[in-house]
């Protein structure tokens, strides 16, 4: 499990006033930080789960940039699913309206 920090999501719900669940069917770009000491073993075809964590500590980081297509949103689970060139990401949050995406911390779990 790798701790990551989401730097930016485009289109940015913070700027455009979008609910993150209104992004279904849109192309998005996610920029995340990963600890540089941990090898990034995520490859095309892998399924990765990205979960919110409360960890405030930021280690030395490398930036991981992902661009993908939102293929599903689950409001009850507060989850957004993104397909990135065969890589599937699930991003779960604590609230439906995500404010301050740059302050959220996530775990990346290879499924």
pLDDT digits (tens, 9 = 90+) for 63-100: 445 556 666 666 555 556 666 555 555 655 433 333 44
Q: d(Cα 104, Cα 98) in Å, to the nearest integer?
A: 9
Residue 32: closest CA among 95, 78, 84, 79: 84
Range in 18-32, 34-48, 73-87, 97-111 with the lowest mean pLDDT: 97-111
Are 100 and 91 in contact by the 8 Å Cβ rule? The answer is no
> 62: which 2 tokens?
């490398």
Res. 101 pLDDT band, cuts 50 70 90: very low
Are 19 and 13 in contact by the 8 Å Cβ rule? The answer is yes
Q: d(Cα 77, Cα 95) in Å, to the nearest integer?
A: 9
Top-confidence residue, 2 or 70? 70
Top-confidence residue, 84 or 53? 84
Are 89 and 51 in contact by the 8 Å Cβ rule? The answer is no
Res. 54 pLDDT band, cuts 50 70 90: very low
> 17: which 2 tokens?
């006033």
DSSP one-letter code for 37: T
Does the structure show a pLDDT above 50 at 108?
Answer: yes
> 104: which 2 tokens?
């959220």
- The structure's pTM equals 0.37
**Is 23 in a helix, a strand, or coil?**
helix
Average pLDDT value over all residues in the chain? 53
Does the structure show a pLDDT above 50 at 27?
Answer: yes
């Amino acid at each position: 499990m790798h701790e990551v920090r989401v730097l930016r999501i485009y289109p940015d719900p913070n700027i455009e006033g979008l609910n993150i669940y209104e992004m279904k069917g849109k192309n998005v770009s996610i920029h995340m930080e990963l600890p540089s000491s941990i090898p990034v073993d995520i490859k095309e075809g892998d399924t990765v789960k990205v979960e919110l964590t409360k960890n405030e500590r930021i280690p030395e980081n490398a930036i991981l940039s992902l661009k993908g297509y939102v293929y599903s949103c689950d409001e009850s689970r507060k989850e957004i699913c993104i397909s990135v060139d065969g890589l599937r990401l699930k991003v779960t949050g604590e609230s439906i309206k995500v404010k301050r995406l740059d302050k959220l911390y996530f775990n990346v779990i290879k499924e």
